[in-house]
Chain A
Amino acid sequence: MSAGQAGRPDASMTLITEMMQRPLDPGYAAAAESRQRSGLAPATGHRSPLLVLVAVLIGALLTTSAMALRVPATGANTIKSDLVRRIEASRAHADGQTRLIAQLQLEINAAQAAAFGQQSQTGLAAELSRLELAAGTVPVTGPGLVLTVDDAPSRVDRNNPDVGAQTSKEFDSGKVYDRDLHAIVNGLWEAGAEAISINGHRLTARSAIRAAGEAILVDFRPLTRPYVITAIGEPGSVSVEFADNDGGSHLHLLANYNIRGDIQERDSVSVPGEPTLSLQKAQPVPSAVTKSAPATLRAPP
């Protein structure tokens, strides 16, 4: 430090100290000094036209920015909330139709029972309930296991619901895809499961597990993670065979990507039915049972 300079202890912080202690533009002080030296009053008047013009400009700038910057956010939000509203309306309609189907199914069952009772076709009634059980239209219960598969935890934390959801074209290794569920469900069938449901949707002979965008759908119903697969079968043998076959090894492979899958054996699980199962083009091949039934009781499509 030179002897002629008064060294302040905080001389190296001039940037911060200047900013905090001299916020007023030094131009004002300099201009005031020069005016005083030439004999004028230190402050100029308020009425110069240039000043008024600049004041108008500042006011216009403030309101223009406020209005210009406000619009984009609401534009995107209204579109998004409109789409969400339409989705919810359609889903409510679909749920209402499903309830109607279940109600009509009950009426059909009652009519069938009455018809069977009248004609004492107990053999046919037993055959019908066996077919319903196998086809998957009625809920079933029995021993089995519950397999829960979930996305990788890091991926879950990254999900930001505020960001506009766009279909990701890249393969995200931490996400459960429909082909993972294909392999797991196939493995369970192979291991001897008798009834399988995913997140409460029964898998029947007509069920498809597919992907739409980022969601996995079963029969057009989207699933949300975690994916809970309930299977009815002999718990010990099903889980052992599953671990041995392709489904189990696929699940094991997924663990490398932090996709969590855990299997729990239960003494009693229940799997819901799928009442909307129906066939329109397929006709039954005549067999001994159907030939012996009266024409009015042949199974309707």
Chain B
Amino acid sequence: MIPALGLLVGLAVGLFLHPAVPLALQPYLPIAVIAALDTVFGGVRAVLDGIFNDKVFVVSFLSNVVVAAFIVFLGDQLGVGSQLSTGVVVVLGIRIFSNVASIRRHLFRA
């Protein structure tokens, strides 16, 4: 519950403070968002499975975001930026769907 409140506080902070994102980082924002969503759903599933660990959550969030942004950056340097980012989005998307499916099974027994 407390982390959920923290999430809401973060949403409000972003909405009202409107921090300016440097132009160089803007292409990596979408992929960072998807990586963050993947860790959030993974964390919720771990909570429902009873094996949640906050250190693992924090480390996986940071590493997911950094690795995803790095892969997109590498792709831009090599000239295959859109293809690599498509690949990253596909993988993270599949993971998000699987995590959401098991969360659904926990919550609704369906």
Q: Tell me, yes or no, whether A binds B.
A: yes
Interface membership of A67, Cβ < 8 A: yes
Q: Considering the complex, give the chain A residue whose CB is closest to the CB of B21.
A: A68
Q: Do residues B42 and A60 form an inter-chain contact, with CB atoms below 8 A?
A: no
Q: Do residues B53 and A28 form an inter-chain contact, with CB atoms below 8 A?
A: yes
Residues on B with C-beta less than 8 A from A62 are 10-11, 14, 33, 36
CB interface residues, A 59-101, toward B, < 8 Å:
59-65, 67-69
Interface membership of A115, Cβ < 8 A: no
Q: Do residues A69 and B30 form an inter-chain contact, with CB atoms below 8 A?
A: yes
CB interface residues, B 3-56, toward A, < 8 Å:
3-15, 18-21, 26, 29-30, 32-33, 36, 39-40, 42, 45-47, 49-56
Can you list 5 A-B pairs with a CB-CB distance of less than 8 A? A43-B53, A44-B52, A55-B6, A55-B7, A64-B19
Interface membership of A279, Cβ < 8 A: no
Residues on B with C-beta less than 8 A from A57 are 10
Q: Considering the complex, give the chain B residue whose CB is closest to the CB of A55.
A: B6
Q: Do residues B6 and A52 form an inter-chain contact, with CB atoms below 8 A?
A: yes
**Residue positions of A touching B, CB distance < 8 A:** 19-21, 23-25, 27-29, 31-32, 35, 42-48, 50-65, 67-69
Residues on B with C-beta less than 8 A from A69 are 26, 29-30
Q: Do residues B13 and A56 form an inter-chain contact, with CB atoms below 8 A?
A: yes
Given contacts A32-B51, A69-B30, contact A56 B6 (CB under 8 A): yes
CB distance from B21 to the nearest CB of A (A): 4
Given contacts A27-B59, A56-B6, contact A61 B36 (CB under 8 A): yes
Bound CA span A21–B95, Å? 9
Interface membership of B94, Cβ < 8 A: yes
Q: Do residues B42 and A23 form an inter-chain contact, with CB atoms below 8 A?
A: yes
Of B18, B52, B61, B102, which contacts A54 at CB under 8 A?
Answer: B61
Interface membership of B110, Cβ < 8 A: no
Given contacts A51-B58, A53-B6, contact A27 B53 (CB under 8 A): yes
Bound CA span A47–B3, Å? 7
Bound CA span A55–B40, Å? 9
CB distance from A22 to the nearest CB of B (A): 9
Q: Contact mask B53-67 → A, CB, 8 Å, 1/0?
A: 111111111000000
Interface membership of B98, Cβ < 8 A: yes
Given contacts A27-B59, A28-B51, A51-B58, contact A56 B95 (CB under 8 A): no
Bound CA span A59–B9, Å? 7
Q: Do residues B98 and A44 form an inter-chain contact, with CB atoms below 8 A?
A: no
Residues on B with C-beta less than 8 A from A21 are 98
Residues on B with C-beta less than 8 A from A67 are 14-15, 18
Interface membership of B1, Cβ < 8 A: yes
Bound CA span A68–B54, Å? 29
Q: Do residues A51 and B3 form an inter-chain contact, with CB atoms below 8 A?
A: yes
Of A19, A20, A55, A65, which contacts B32 at CB under 8 A?
Answer: A65
Q: Do residues B54 and A44 form an inter-chain contact, with CB atoms below 8 A?
A: yes
Interface membership of B91, Cβ < 8 A: yes
Q: Do residues A31 and B7 form an inter-chain contact, with CB atoms below 8 A?
A: no
Of A28, A42, A55, which contacts B4 at CB under 8 A?
Answer: A55
Residues on B with C-beta less than 8 A from A20 are 94, 98
Interface membership of B85, Cβ < 8 A: no
Of B9, B36, B58, B61, which contacts A56 at CB under 8 A?
Answer: B9
Q: Do residues B51 and A31 form an inter-chain contact, with CB atoms below 8 A?
A: yes
Residues on B with C-beta less than 8 A from A53 are 6
Of A24, A32, A56, which contacts B42 at CB under 8 A?
Answer: A24
Most buried by A among B14, B46, B99, B102: B14
Q: A23-B99, A43-B50 are in contact. List 19 more A-B contacts (CB 8 A).
A: A23-B94, A25-B39, A25-B46, A28-B42, A31-B56, A35-B53, A48-B54, A52-B5, A54-B61, A55-B6, A58-B36, A59-B8, A59-B9, A59-B13, A60-B11, A61-B10, A62-B11, A62-B33, A67-B14
